[in-house]
Amino acid sequence: MDIILLGPPGAGKGTQAKKLVALTGIPQISTGDMLRAAVTAQTELGKKAKAFMDAGKLVPDEVVIGLVEERLKEKDCEKGFMLDGFPRTVPQAESLEQMMNHLERKLDHVLLLDVEDEELVNRITGRRTCGKCGAIYHLVFTPPPAADTCTCGKKGLDQRADDNEKTVRERLSAYHKQTSPLIDFYGKRGLVRKVVGTNSTPEDVFASAKRALGL
Ligand code: AP5
Ligand code: MG
């Protein structure tokens, strides 16, 4: 199954992707995670991406398209893939279509996680993540079992550099201007499965997502 998780920052793409990976074994491909790894490793690509990410702006299309093109050729994608945070612009979606034509594959679903802006700001400013296993928490909605400690045992959870209110507003604006046109792009292709996430727990969203994806 080849799917895209589409939705604004904080909609729960990463949270739902982890649940779907556990259920299906299909790999999650998060361009945000790949870019953050490049920033931490201080690669040329990471240095180029950092200023855009810190400002809440999209990294240029050619940078992320190259990353995804290489990743989709890896062996674990043969059984399917779950794109999280890609595509984010119409040119990225067109490139993905070309890549998939070359690979003789067809997208099955675009899972749209729909959440209102004010809830997104609360979710993102309260997010904490584990630098060891990648678990995602929220200080209020889904807190770690013990303060500042992950279930995997790692002490000291991280807050992303772009998870402050000012940058979140920029990211939301980028989503509405540059990414939301993809709802129409994939709607015309009959691929959009919408799940409403406002005032809904991660477990309830997961139940709706499974229904929407026929799982
Ligand atoms: P990326 O890392 O993709 O960030 P994003 O799209 O802004 O999305 P987030 O990861 O912030 O949110 P999410 O939907 O994964 O939510 P999560 O599950 O964590 O991208 C970062 C940056 O990289 C971009 O700004 C851009 O610069 C660059 N970039 C990446 N891809 C790019 C591309 N294709 N093109 C160009 N640039 C690109 O949940 C959020 C919080 O809410 C957590 O605390 C979680 O616990 C909580 N939560 C989740 N679900 C619920 C629920 N149902 N109820 C209550 N709380 C919930
Ligand atoms: Mg994410």
Percent of the chain predicted with pLDDT > 90: 99
What pLDDT sits at residue 33?
Answer: 96
Average pLDDT over residues 55-71: 96
What pLDDT sits at residue 173?
Answer: 97
Find the ligand nearest to 89 CA. 1
Ligand 1 center to residue 128 CA distance, Å? 12
Provide the residues around ligand 2 (an ion) whose CB is within 5 A: 13-14
Catalytic residue among 18, 50, 127, 128: 127
Query: Are residues 1 and 26 in contact, defined by beta-carbon separation less than 8 angstroms?
Result: yes
What pLDDT sits at residue 87?
Answer: 98
pTM of model > 0.95: yes
Long-range CB contacts (within 8 A, 24+) of 127-131: 127/10, 127/159, 127/160, 127/163, 128/157, 128/158, 128/159, 129/157, 129/158, 129/159, 129/160, 130/154, 130/157, 130/158, 131/156, 131/157, 131/158
Q: How confident is the model at residue 3 (pLDDT cuts 50, 70, 90)?
A: very high
- The tokens of 184 are what? 């129409």
Residues 6+ apart with CB under 8 A from 45: 35, 38, 63, 67
Ligand 2 center to residue 10 CA distance, Å? 7
4 lines ligand 1 (CB under 6 A): no
Report the candidate in 85, 92, 89 with the shortest Cα–Cα distance to residue 65: 92
What pLDDT sits at residue 144?
Answer: 95
Ligand 1 atom 26, closest CA? 58
Average pLDDT over residues 160-187: 96
Report how far apart the first and last C-alpha atoms of the chain are (Å, whole number): 11
What pLDDT sits at residue 182?
Answer: 98
Rg (CA), the chain: 17
Q: How confident is the model at residue 44 (pLDDT cuts 50, 70, 90)?
A: very high
Using CA of residue 46, residue 48, residue 49, residue 53, what is the dihedral sign? positive
Q: How confident is the model at residue 93 (pLDDT cuts 50, 70, 90)?
A: very high
Average pLDDT over residues 32-54: 96
Find the ligand nearest to 85 CA. 1
211 is catalytic: no
DSSP letter (8 states) at residue 149: B
What pLDDT sits at residue 148?
Answer: 92
Query: Are residues 26 and 105 in contact, defined by beta-carbon separation less than 8 angstroms?
Result: no
Q: How confident is the model at residue 22 (pLDDT cuts 50, 70, 90)?
A: very high
Residue 158 CA to its chain's centroid (Å): 18
Ligand 1 atom 30, closest CA? 32
8 lines ligand 1 (CB under 6 A): no
Residue 194's DSSP bridge partners are 112
